[in-house]
């Protein structure tokens, strides 16, 4: 895995603001989840945003997992979530 990118933007204000977040983690086969990236917005303004990238290489082997989770504890409002990864597979 070469890069991971995540973006979070508040599109419409919430009735009651809460924490909105994106969490990206890797699970090595037989291991435990290891966090790679977390971004969050706690404000309630339209257009409020956060984002992040990881540009280092991570080698995934057979059985390894990659997970991206989103969550929002706000009441009402809308958010835009975007998560992408560039992964290159090598065949023997």
What does the pLDDT look like over 33-69, one tens digit per residue? 989 999 999 999 999 999 999 887 788 888 899 999 9
Residue 40: half-sphere exposure toward Cβ, Cα within 13 Å: 11
Q: How do the domains of the chain map onto residue ranges?
A: 3-86
Mean pLDDT of 74-89: 91
Length of the chain: 92
Task: Identify the band that residue 31 occupies on the pLDDT scale cut at 50, 70 and 90.
Answer: confident
% of residues, the chain, pLDDT over 90: 66
Q: Are 51 and 8 in contact (CB under 8 A)?
A: yes
Q: Pick the closest to residue 12 from 70, 75, 82 (CA basis).
A: 75
- pLDDT at position 92, please? 67
% of residues, the chain, pLDDT over 70: 99
């Amino acid at each position: 895995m070469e890069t991971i990118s995540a973006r979070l933007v508040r599109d419409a204000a919430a009735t009651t603001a809460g924490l909105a977040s994106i969490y990206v983690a890797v699970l090595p086969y037989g291991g435990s989840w290891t966090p790679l990236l977390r971004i969050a917005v706690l404000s309630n303004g339209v257009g409020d945003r956060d984002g992040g990238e990881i540009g280092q290489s991570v080698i995934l082997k057979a059985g390894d997992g990659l997970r991206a989770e989103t969550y929002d504890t706000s009441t009402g409002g809308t958010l835009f979530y975007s998560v992408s990864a560039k992964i290159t597979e090598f065949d023997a």
